[in-house]
Structure formats: C-alpha cells, structure tokens
Chains A and B, each alone.
Chain A
C-alpha cells in the first residue's frame, strides 16, 4: 500500500480490513483517494480509488459508480453504466461505515 499522509486514516483503513468491513473500506479508501487527487497526485489517487471501487462493489454501494467514474476519467478503468442502480438489487451492508475522528 502506498504511504498515507494521514496516519489516522491509515489506522482506520487497517482496522476496517481487520474487521472485514467493505462499506467502511470503500468510504475510507475513497477519502484517501480524494485527498491525493486534490493534491494532484493522480497515481496515488487512482490506487486508492481502485481500492475504494472494489470494496464499494463488494458492499453493493451506489458510490461504486462515483469511484468508477473517477477512474474512467483518469483513463484507469472502463466505465460501467449499471452501477447507479446497484443498491436497488443489493441492500447495503449493515456494518457501520463511520469512523470516529475521520
């Protein structure tokens, strides 16, 4: 994994991995990606967007479409047109996705 500037975010991601919480991982990786993207580090951002995208898919979250769009925008993945309706078919994971302090 590439080094995170935010040590708290890194710890939260590791904790979510340990708890096997894809919805939390999607949100946390998405946050890391947005931060790197805002800083102009596209490669790092796309690494995190990729992670976020996969976990959002796993959790059946509509936000997968947002991550997919960012990756496609940067030429890193193919656009998937059906992701907006993901949650219609797959009730989202009930596990908590909010991490205190993040």
Chain B
C-alpha cells in the first residue's frame, strides 16, 4: 500500500516548516518509497574503494535488498555490478574474495570478466558446445550500476537517472577541491561500525547541526564551543556544519599527523562536516578526513560504517596516534547514539507533528528535510 504523506509543510521556509511526518521514520511502506525516490534515484554511498584495493578484489554488498558487487579491474577502476548472473539469476559472489580470471557463476559456470563482459557460457549449446546462436554475449554482460568514487566512498545511482555525479555534486566538489588528493586509509584500527536502532535519516539530521554539541558532547565545550561553529546550507544540495577551532591531535612528544598538501589558510584551524545526501557523512581536517556510510537496514535500523583517512600511509603516521584519533571520534559518535535512537522512539508519539525548527540553529537539518521531501515529491510526480 502506498501512503502519500503530506509534505507541503516540510517544503516551507525553515521559519514555518515542520519536519518530515512520523511515517517517514516508522512506516515500512514509506521506507520503500524512500528506497526508490531518495536512495535509488540519487547518488548513495554503498562501500569504500579501499575494500577492493587490488585487481580482482570483489566485495558483495547488499544495499536495501539490492545485491551489488564491487570489483577492482585490471586498469585499477572500481566497478559496481548487479551481483546476479544473467542466466538464471543466481547470486554470483556471496563473500569478499579475490577473483583470479573470471567471475564464475557457481550454478552453470557462466563466466564474466572483471569489466563485466560475458566471457564464456559453458555447454550452453549442448555438451561441449559453449556457443548458441540465441545466446548473444554482447547483450548479456553483467548489469553495470552507475558508480563514482569520491573521498574513497563508492557512490552509486541505482535507477540510472540522476545527473552525473560531478554535476549533481558540483558545488560540493568545488567547495572541497583542496581535498581532492590522495587519501590513505588508517588501517584496521581506523574502521569501526555502529549499529543503531534508528531510521537512517535521523543520523543525517543529527550530523548536520551543531545545536546539540554543548549538551550531547560536553567534552567539546572546552575548546570547540557552539559559537565556534557555523551552519552549512545549500538548498537542494547538501548541508552540515563547520568549525573554526580545529585543534590537531598530538602525541606525548607533541607530534601531529602530517598535513594534506597545499591547503589554504582556512584549514589551519578549520574543519567541516557535511552530509552528502542521501546517506554519506564526510568530515575534513588539515590532517585527516573521515567518511561515515549510513546503511539503511530497515525503517528503524541503521548501520554506520566509519572509515578514517590520512595524508600519508598508515605506516608513516606517528605510532599510536591514529588509534587515539579513532577512539576520540568513536567516543563522539557513540555519544550521539542515544539521541538518534531517542528521536526514533519519540516518533512513535502519534501527536508529534514533525517538530518545530529553530530558524537560527536548525537550518542544515531543515535543508535535509526539504531535500528529502523534494525527492519524494519528484518520485510521486513520475
């Protein structure tokens, strides 16, 4: 059953708007609508290029029930395919693995190249005959999903109808062009996941705004006060927050992480945290970046995949410092769990009306609501 929630109030100015109705956080039918109109119709994050570092590395990903396969090809490119054989619909790869010469379907052994071409169809024309006039290999390659790697995040546009990634994200790519340089993942200690009993959008909304910092992250008050932050809002594009007082982490000897090259003065003490709609949260600093990929499991469950990157390979970083950095960020993100889960619980209150935004403080959150509502309205008009 399709439920057409009322979104007109969400699309008003921040001073007058209400937030998205409860059903957008609790109703499986609305979740299904958002799956198509918000997550499949835009550039959603589904993985990290660092997880397929070498030729032949393949990683299956289940994104909202859609089976995907990330594959590194011979030319170093990351490809995303539907992880489904063109013959009988068998899942091709079920565990991360090194593909050697062919992506081989485990059912009838149809074989595909790393670039998705159908290489052979054994016995398809009868025993010992791998050709048949009705099996046209050039029409039966793996279904390629549009993909783009930025900041090591593998973005996909599943419905294939969104503008090119560079067009859709032109404004943000320009804003952060100084960080368009090699990133090095911090290694095993620079990855962690958090499993949340909340709708994926609440994690975006909490990330966007600094209003909650003094209350939820009191440890930041001593050096990163609320007034040191600014809102980032680009209508129809992205939102987040920035800080003017980023302080580098130091070890006992005063050693810091190496900086990214040729950054402007703004980044000496500046940092920015932006939600790349729909489901990727990025943070940039002079000496490290991080990416949070929100995996929407269902309408009330989300997995946060957190990865931290540096300007130099992990072995070149000050010993022990990256572990401290990971621990610091993990503490901050864990402090947010009770609020994103609490907002989820609060949305079971049948009289909650989407909430009232602070025009001064909640602009980035409203910007996201407005964008989501716009995507849903666009989907309904098709």
Contacts and interface: CB of A to CB of B under 8 A. Distances in A.
B78 to A, nearest CB: 15
A76 B98 CA distance: 29
A89 B128 CA distance: 28
B56 interface: yes
Interface stretch (B18-26, B81-89, B115-123, B229-237): B115-123
B373 to A, nearest CB: 47
Given A54-B104, A57-B104, 15 more contacts: A46-B128, A47-B127, A47-B128, A48-B128, A49-B128, A50-B122, A50-B128, A50-B130, A53-B120, A54-B111, A58-B102, A76-B128, A90-B99, A90-B101, A91-B100
A64 B101 contact: yes
Interface in B217-265: none
B109 interface: yes
A89 B98 CA distance: 11
A98 interface: no
A77 B104 contact: no
Categorize the interface residue count of chain B.
20 to 34
B317 interface: no
Nearest to B102: A57
Nearest to A71: B130
A70 to B, nearest CB: 11
A22 B102 CA distance: 12
Contact of B55 (A56, A64, A76, A89): A89
Contact of A57 (B98, B119, B129): B119
Categorize the interface residue count of chain A.
20 to 34
Contacts of A90: 55-56, 98-101
Given A58-B104, A64-B101, A50 B123 contact: yes
Contact of B120 (A47, A60, A77, A93): A77
The secondary-structure label for the interface of chain B is: loop
Contacts of A45: 128
Given A54-B109, A57-B119, A89-B74, A78 B100 contact: no
- In the complex, the 10 A-B pairs of residues with the closest C-beta atoms, listed nearest first: A60-B100, A46-B128, A60-B101, A57-B102, A47-B128, A90-B100, A77-B130, A57-B101, A50-B122, A89-B74
26 contacts: A22-B100, A43-B128, A46-B127, A47-B123, A48-B128, A50-B122, A50-B123, A50-B130, A54-B102, A54-B120, A57-B119, A58-B100, A59-B101, A61-B101, A68-B120, A71-B130, A76-B125, A76-B128, A76-B130, A77-B131, A78-B131, A80-B119, A86-B101, A89-B74, A90-B99, A90-B101
A2 interface: yes
A44 interface: yes
Nearest to B119: A80
Interface string A54-94: 10111111001000100100001110100000100111110
A49 B104 CA distance: 16
B305 interface: no
Contacts of B101: 56-61, 64, 86, 90
B137 interface: yes
A68 B98 CA distance: 23
A2 B128 CA distance: 11
